[in-house]
């Protein structure tokens, strides 16, 4: 085959898979053991029961074995028959799929490499399909593949799939092509080859430098003449020797030699049926021939196209300063009516005339505009020029811009410093588009109220005191693809914008299927740069002129302007705005106070509450963003409010929120209990909050609170927190809980607390699971950024040191009572350690060292020092009466590792305060009081 399939057909290369036939079943051995078992069983039963009839059972084994083999063979035959039917059905489907894919592949190849007729007929193909020369149509290789299956039918399908009939057969024209046959036919085919190349290649990519005198049409092509592009000559075979390195398209009579400059030979016969002569086998071709009159028509059309492209336009790029200077010289701004006029380029010039200034007015020609153009046509540069020209002509007090850049955030970034620009929305900001739309809704309502209050009909009435708002969107289609529901919003603005002074400039690569008719009807100002399809150009400007613009760099920034009153579109080269032009607008004096725009300033990354004392005990929580009402209120915790749950991933700002609330609440004179991370301190804080309800209870990482304690303490801590939250309405306590997940006590508390803040989460699913609205999810939120009360908020940052506070180390306990009983393990060692720590001021006695039956007074004697009796469970059980005497008259201290001993010896059923293990902790039991934790030396 002469050529490889086009890369455009690669998507068709997914294999068509046929099912494989099952392997034939192997010969299974006769089930000898299964046959003998019934025989042996029958003989045994005959011997036991003595009935000869039982021997009939011996025949069952061989009979069942034979039947089993027959059934297996029958099943295998049925399975293979079924597989053959499935393979046949799959083959029928594969045959239809092969035909469908071949049609698609053939269409793609014809579009990518059209012959002369298709290059002229295809919409937008002229000068946009460079590449190999189409020799004709014939049989070529296909990318379609069939795998699997077996048998003659499957092999036929595989062979059929790999062959594409009636497809373009191509060759590299740079290697030269010779057409041999009867002169009239050979010359017509060679002529068709040159016409095809001229239709598909722009003059910048191909030049025709030689042709016979009787082929005068070739000299009328815009490709004719000198240049730096690859050269092509059309000659008779005998004259090809002097081509001087140019590619040769030659024709030869039958029997003539093929020129050395031609690597490809095509032979033509009657009916334009021919063949490509190739070393690996000739390929039959259906050829295309063109007469001289047809070639003349093509040359005339292409020459006219080049004239349209070249006529009277200034060469680019066109500096915006030059256009502004020309406009200032020719246009009397004071004599013109008020509007939004901007000079954006230069148009065609008549003989001996300078190109005239092209200006558009959004008020007179609008109120809205649509700008279309393919990638690289200069659409973003035009929008930049338009914005800058408007900003240069109108003070910031009279004109406001809202810019939306859905082209990766690069189109309008350099315009953010212009005082007229109130906001910039990009596709890099997940919530920016919806925030802007909400702000636009609020702006519409604000303008309606202002007009009604002033008794004005529209924004032109000076009593309204409203600046004009211009919304500029680059890549409108990308905006709608990401937010399809916003089309209705833009349609509404288009319908009501004129009276309210709101204008839109919508840039998109194509309007068809993107800009609905209701929106397009309210955008009479149209600008089209180069577009890919004729119908696109016709829909926007009423002619196909924008589709005929060359795609070369010379015509970047060239397009057509059509206003509602124009009889025909006006061609223009649009000005290019440099950074210096933007800086000149930014630095210009006399802008006035910038008018309010629809988009509020973004929330700060760090926000601190006002330094003045909180009003009436309120605690300012966060600065909220409410674009729908054009305000940024401060959200607060009011006295007596039940509470708040804060959820977020690690490092999302949860701890900072609790510290801020604690600081501000104490400054307002409210009592605060913070549950710290230390287990003993956390237990004490919960116990204190339950006994004496504070104004505010703060629990950071409440979801992990039970995990800090052993099981019985975890259950008790969770129950205590749950009870505090349930009683909050009666006690007036405001509870603030934070966590990463709604689990454990946090899940139960979240059902009782009315407000919920959701900070940063890595995924939308986790955001929704935490109780957030899916529409308010934003990836990459910083610390303190989240949602509260349905609004985006930035929580207040705490003032002061945010480092973790060190745990308070309690002072060691020292006995003060006359006598104390200490229940501890390893009492002898513990007694020695305590005696050494307390010194001579305390008398420490091991219980085992005192004689059984002695009373407390006997042991104490007349020694005035405090007495500490140390013993383990067994020692105290042997002297239980002494323990009872001590309990009635003195203190009892129980080591933290002796919780079981406390229940057994003291009958204490209540859970004592949590004590850290292996940290010299103990519980002091005094009279009828609850045990309290102490630290032993």
DSSP-assigned letters across all residues of 50-108: --GGGGGGGGHHHHHHHHHHHHHHHHHHHHHHHHHHHHHHHHHHHHHHHHHHHHHHHHH
Q: Give me the pLDDT at residue 636, please.
A: 92
Return the ∠ at Cα 708 (arms to 704 and 712), rounded to 5°: 110
Kindly state whether residues 778 and 845 are assigned to the same domain.
no
The model's confidence at residue 458, banded by pLDDT at 50, 70 and 90, is confident
The model's confidence at residue 338, banded by pLDDT at 50, 70 and 90, is low
Inside any domain, residue 492: yes
Nearest one of 614, 641, 638, 621 to 731, comparing CA atoms? 641
Kindly state whether residues 745 and 874 are assigned to the same domain.
no
Query: Mean pLDDT over residues 440-457, rounded?
Result: 90
Instruction: Dihedral sign for Cα 299, 302, 308, 309, please.
Output: negative
The structure tokens listed for 83 are 């597989």
How many Cβ atoms sit within 10 Å of the Cβ of residue 671? 14
Inside any domain, residue 211: no
Inside any domain, residue 287: no
Query: Mean pLDDT over residues 843-852, rounded?
Result: 85
Three-state SS at 705: coil
3-state secondary structure 487-501: HHHHHHHHHHHHHHC
Three-state SS at 606: coil
Kindly state whether residues 724 and 869 are assigned to the same domain.
no
Query: Mean pLDDT over residues 12-23, rounded?
Result: 74
Kindly state whether residues 642 and 735 are assigned to the same domain.
yes
How many Cβ atoms sit within 10 Å of the Cβ of residue 886? 22
Kindly state whether residues 787 and 862 are assigned to the same domain.
no
The model's confidence at residue 935, banded by pLDDT at 50, 70 and 90, is very high
How many Cβ atoms sit within 10 Å of the Cβ of residue 911? 13
Boundary residue ending a domain (586, 605, 637): 586
In whole angstroms, how far apart are CA 686 and each of 724, 742, 913, 920?
A: 9, 20, 11, 23
Kindly state whether residues 637 and 562 are assigned to the same domain.
no
**Which H/E stretch holds residue 563?**
none
In whole angstroms, how far apart are CA 14 and each of 86, 107, 110?
A: 21, 18, 21
pLDDT digits (tens, 9 = 90+) for 235-263: 998 876 555 778 999 999 988 889 988 99
Inside any domain, residue 779: yes
Q: Which residue has the higher pLDDT, 391 or 69?
A: 391
Phi and psi at residue 624, to the nearest 5°: -100, 155
**Least confident segment among 545-549, 655-659, 798-802, 834-838:** 798-802
Phi and psi at residue 586, to the nearest 5°: -65, -40
Summary mean pLDDT of the chain: 85
d(CA 222, CA 301): 10
Instruction: Concatenate the DSSP letters of all residues of 130-195 into one string.
Output: -SSEEEEEEEEE-S--EEE--SHHHHHHHHHHTEEEEEEEEE-GGG-EEEESSHHHHHHHHHHHHH
pLDDT beyond 50 at 84: yes
d(CA 74, CA 621): 80
Inside any domain, residue 271: no
Q: Which residue has the higher pLDDT, 230 or 801?
A: 230
Q: Is 829 left (phi over 0), alpha (psi -120 to 50) or beta?
A: alpha
Inside any domain, residue 293: no
Give yes or no for a contact between 884 and 648, defined as CB atoms under 8 angstroms apart: no
**Least confident segment among 324-328, 355-359, 589-593:** 589-593
**Least confident segment among 93-97, 582-586, 587-591, 873-877:** 587-591
Give the burial class of 274: count Cβ atoms within 10 A of its Cβ; 0-12 exposed, 13-18 middle, 19 or more buried. buried
Nearest one of 115, 173, 139 to 5, comparing CA atoms? 139
Give yes or no for a contact between 869 and 821, defined as CB atoms under 8 angstroms apart: yes
Peptide bond into 162 cis (omega under 30): no
Instruction: Concatenate the DSSP letters of all residues of 716-738 into one string.
Output: HHHHHHHHHHHTHHHHTPEEEEE
Peptide bond into 386 cis (omega under 30): no
Kindly state whether residues 700 and 735 are assigned to the same domain.
yes
Q: Give me the pLDDT at residue 123, please.
A: 63
d(CA 646, CA 746): 10
pLDDT beyond 50 at 63: yes
The model's confidence at residue 9, banded by pLDDT at 50, 70 and 90, is very low
The model's confidence at residue 1, banded by pLDDT at 50, 70 and 90, is very low
Which long-range contacts does 448-456 make (Cβ < 8 Å, 24+ apart)? 448/500, 451/499, 451/500
pLDDT beyond 70 at 336: no
Kindly state whether residues 521 and 625 are assigned to the same domain.
no
**Least confident segment among 267-276, 369-378, 512-521:** 512-521
Q: Which residue has the tokens 């007036």?
A: 732
Inside any domain, residue 608: no
Kindly state whether residues 645 and 779 are assigned to the same domain.
yes
Instruction: Dihedral sign for Cα 413, 414, 417, 422, please.
Output: negative
Instruction: Concatenate the DSSP letters of all residues of 203-266 into one string.
Output: TTT-EEEE--TT-THHHHSTTBS--SSPEEEEEEGGGGGG-TT-EEEEEE-TTPPPPTT--EEE
User: Which residues partner with 361 through β-bridges?
Assistant: 341
Give yes or no for a contact between 511 and 383, defined as CB atoms under 8 angstroms apart: no
Inside any domain, residue 279: no
- Report which listed range, 5-14, 206-215, 800-809, is most confident: 206-215
Q: Give me the pLDDT at residue 529, please.
A: 94
Nearest one of 243, 245, 223 to 235, comparing CA atoms? 243
Q: Give me the pLDDT at residue 590, please.
A: 60
pLDDT beyond 70 at 807: no
Query: Mean pLDDT over residues 69-95, rounded?
Result: 78
Give helix 379-393 / helix 579-586 axis angle, nearest 10°.
30
Give helix 152-161 / helix 60-112 axis angle, nearest 10°.
20
Q: Give me the pLDDT at residue 349, please.
A: 67
The model's confidence at residue 481, banded by pLDDT at 50, 70 and 90, is confident
Q: Give me the pLDDT at residue 5, please.
A: 41
**709: containing domain:** 615-795
d(CA 198, CA 312): 24
In whole angstroms, how far apart are CA 785 and each of 508, 606, 655?
A: 33, 9, 13
In whole angstroms, how far apart are CA 191 and each of 128, 268, 276, 277, 383?
A: 20, 13, 17, 20, 45
Phi and psi at residue 598, to the nearest 5°: -75, -15
Nearest one of 369, 724, 330 to 511, comparing CA atoms? 369
Query: Mean pLDDT over residues 407-421, rounded?
Result: 84
Q: Which residue has the higher pLDDT, 11 or 918?
A: 918
pLDDT beyond 50 at 272: yes
Q: Give me the pLDDT at residue 778, please.
A: 84
d(CA 241, CA 819): 128
The structure tokens listed for 799 are 């003032």
In whole angstroms, how far apart are CA 518 and each of 490, 495, 521, 534?
A: 10, 8, 5, 22
Kindly state whether residues 581 and 645 are assigned to the same domain.
no
pLDDT digits (tens, 9 = 90+) for 759-803: 999 999 999 999 998 878 888 889 999 999 989 999 999 986 545
Kindly state whether residues 789 and 823 are assigned to the same domain.
no
pLDDT beyond 90 at 30: no
d(CA 21, CA 827): 84
The pLDDT > 90 percentage for the chain reads: 39
The model's confidence at residue 352, banded by pLDDT at 50, 70 and 90, is low
Q: Which residue has the tokens 């609905």?
A: 516
Q: Which residue has the higher pLDDT, 789 or 555?
A: 789
Q: Give me the pLDDT at residue 313, please.
A: 56
Q: Which residue has the higher pLDDT, 716 or 854?
A: 716
Instruction: Concatenate the DSSP letters of all residues of 314-351 into one string.
Output: PPS-EEHHHHHHHHHHH--TTTSPSS-EEEEEEE---T
Q: Give me the pLDDT at residue 274, please.
A: 94
The model's confidence at residue 4, banded by pLDDT at 50, 70 and 90, is very low
Kindly state whether residues 62 and 7 are assigned to the same domain.
yes
Residues whose CB falls within 8 Å of the CB of residue 137, separated by 6 or more in sequence, listed in order:
115, 166, 167, 168, 169, 285, 286
d(CA 795, CA 781): 12
d(CA 287, CA 269): 9
Boundary residue ending a domain (763, 779, 795): 795
Give helix 183-200 / helix 292-310 axis angle, nearest 10°.
20
pLDDT digits (tens, 9 = 90+) for 667-715: 888 999 999 988 999 999 999 999 999 999 999 999 999 999 999 999 9
pLDDT digits (tens, 9 = 90+) for 627-661: 888 889 999 999 989 999 999 999 999 999 999 99
Residues whose CB falls within 8 Å of the CB of residue 856, separated by 6 or more in sequence, listed in order:
819, 882, 885, 886, 889, 890
The model's confidence at residue 8, banded by pLDDT at 50, 70 and 90, is very low
Residues whose CB falls within 8 Å of the CB of residue 639, separated by 6 or more in sequence, listed in order:
616, 617, 618, 670, 695, 732, 734
d(CA 661, CA 654): 11
Query: Mean pLDDT over residues 610-623, rounded?
Result: 78
In whole angstroms, how far apart are CA 325 and each of 144, 321, 344?
A: 61, 6, 12
| Number of structural domains found in the chain | 4
In whole angstroms, how far apart are CA 884 and each of 458, 821, 866, 888?
A: 96, 10, 18, 6
The model's confidence at residue 591, banded by pLDDT at 50, 70 and 90, is low
The pLDDT > 70 percentage for the chain reads: 92
The structure tokens listed for 35 are 């046959």
């Amino acid at each position: 085959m002469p050529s490889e399939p086009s890369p455009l057909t690669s998507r068709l290369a997914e294999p068509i898979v046929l099912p494989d036939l099952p392997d034939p079943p192997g010969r299974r051995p006769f089930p000898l053991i299964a046959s003998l078992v019934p025989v042996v069983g029958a003989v045994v039963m005959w011997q036991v029961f003595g009935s000869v009839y039982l021997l009939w059972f011996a025949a069952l084994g061989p009979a069942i074995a034979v039947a089993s083999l027959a059934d297996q063979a029958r099943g295998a035959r049925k399975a293979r028959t079924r597989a053959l039917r499935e393979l046949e059905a799959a083959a029928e489907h594969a045959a239809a799929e092969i035909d469908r894919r071949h049609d698609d592949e053939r269409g793609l190849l014809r579009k990518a490499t059209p012959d002369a007729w298709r290059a002229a007929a295809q919409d937008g193909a002229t000068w946009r399909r460079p590449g190999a020369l189409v020799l004709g149509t014939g049989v070529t290789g296909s990318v379609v593949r069939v795998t699997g299956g077996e048998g003659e039918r499957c092999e036929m399908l595989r062979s059929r799939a790999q062959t594409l009939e009636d497809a373009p057969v191509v060759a590299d024209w740079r290697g030269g092509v010779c057409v041999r046959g009867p002169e009239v036919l050979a010359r017509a085919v060679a002529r068709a080859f040159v016409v095809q190349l001229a239709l598909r290649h722009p003059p910048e990519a191909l030049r025709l430098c030689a042709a016979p005198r009787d082929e005068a049409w070739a000299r009328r092509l815009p490709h004719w003449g000198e240049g730096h592009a690859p050269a092509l000559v059309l000659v008779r075979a005998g004259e090809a020797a002097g081509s001087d390195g140019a590619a040769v398209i030659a024709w030869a009579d039958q029997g003539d030699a093929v020129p050395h400059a031609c690597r490809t030979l095509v032979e033509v016969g009657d009916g334009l049926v021919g063949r490509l002569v190739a070393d690996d086998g000739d390929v039959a071709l259906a050829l295309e021939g063109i007469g001289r009159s047809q070639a003349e028509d093509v040359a005339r059309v292409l020459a006219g196209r080049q004239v349209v492209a070249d006529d009277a336009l200034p060469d680019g790029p066109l500096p915006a300063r030059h256009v502004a200077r020309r406009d200032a010289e020719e246009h009397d701004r004071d004599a013109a009516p008020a509007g939004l006029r901007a000079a954006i380029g230069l148009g065609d010039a008549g003989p001996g005339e300078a190109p005239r200034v092209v200006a558009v007015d959004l008020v007179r020609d609008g109120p809205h505009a649509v700008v279309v153009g393919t990638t690289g046509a200069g659409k973003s540069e035009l929008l930049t020029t338009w914005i800058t020209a408007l900003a240069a002509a109108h003070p910031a007090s009279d004109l406001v811009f809202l810019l939306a850049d859905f082209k990766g955030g690069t189109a309008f970034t350099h315009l953010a410093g212009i005082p007229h620009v109130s906001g910039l929305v990009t596709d890099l900001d997940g919530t920016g588009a919806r925030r802007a739309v909400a702000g636009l809704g609020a702006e519409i309502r604000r303008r309606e109220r202002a007009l009604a209050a002033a008794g004005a009909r529209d924004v032109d009435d000076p009593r309204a005191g409203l600046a004009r708002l211009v919304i500029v969107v680059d890549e409108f289609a990308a905006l709608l693809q990401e937010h399809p529901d916003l089309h209705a919003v833009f349609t509404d603005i288009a319908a009501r914008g004129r009276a309210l002074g709101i204008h839109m400039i919508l840039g998109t690569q194509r309007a068809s299927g993107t800009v609905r008719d209701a929106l397009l009807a309210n955008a009479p100002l149209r600008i089209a740069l180069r577009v890919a399809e004729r119908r696109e150009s016709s829909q926007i400007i009423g002619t196909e002129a924008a589709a005929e613009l060359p795609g070369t760099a010379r015509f970047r920034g060239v397009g057509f302007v059509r206003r509602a009153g124009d009889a025909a579109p006006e061609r223009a080269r649009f000005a290019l705005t440099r950074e210096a032009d933007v800086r000149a607008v930014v630095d210009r004096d006399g802008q006035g106070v910038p008018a309010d725009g629809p988009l509020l300033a973004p929330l700060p990354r760090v926000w601190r509450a006002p330094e003045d004392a909180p009003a009436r005990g309120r605690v300012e929580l966060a600065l909220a963003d409410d674009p729908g009402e054009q305000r940024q209120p401060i959200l607060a915790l009011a006295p007596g409010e039940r509470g708040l749950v804060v959820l977020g991933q690690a490092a999302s700002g949860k701890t900072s929120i609790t510290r801020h609330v604690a600081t501000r609440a104490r400054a307002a004179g409210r009592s605060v209990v913070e549950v710290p991370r230390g287990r003993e301190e956390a237990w004490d804080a919960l116990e204190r909050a339950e006994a004496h309800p504070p104004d505010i209870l703060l629990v950071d990482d409440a979801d992990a609170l039970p995990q800090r304690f052993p099981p019985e303490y975890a259950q008790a801590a969770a129950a205590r927190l749950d009870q505090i939250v349930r009683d909050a309405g009666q006690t007036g306590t405001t509870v603030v809980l934070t966590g990463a997940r709604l689990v454990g006590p946090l899940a139960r508390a979240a059902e009782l607390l009315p407000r919920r803040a959701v900070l940063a989460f890595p995924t939308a699913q986790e955001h929704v699971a935490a109780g957030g609205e899916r529409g308010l999810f934003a990836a990459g939120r910083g610390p303190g950024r989240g949602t509260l009360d349905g609004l985006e908020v930035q929580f207040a940052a705490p003032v002061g040191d945010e480092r973790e506070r060190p745990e308070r180390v309690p002072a060691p306990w020292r006995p003060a009572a006359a006598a104390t009983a200490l229940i501890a393990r390893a009492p002898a060692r513990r007694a020695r350690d305590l005696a050494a720590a307390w010194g001579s001021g305390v008398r420490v006695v091991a219980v085992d060292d005192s004689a059984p039956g002695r009373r407390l007074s006997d042991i104490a004697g007349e020694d005035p020092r405090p007495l500490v009796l140390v013993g383990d469970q067994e020692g105290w059980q042997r002297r239980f009466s002494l323990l009872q005497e001590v309990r009635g008259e003195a203190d009892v201290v129980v080591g933290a590792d002796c919780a079981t001993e406390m229940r057994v010896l003291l009958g204490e059923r209540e859970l004592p305060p949590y004590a850290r293990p292996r940290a010299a902790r103990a519980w002091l039991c005094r009279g009828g009081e609850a045990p309290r934790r102490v630290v032993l030396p």
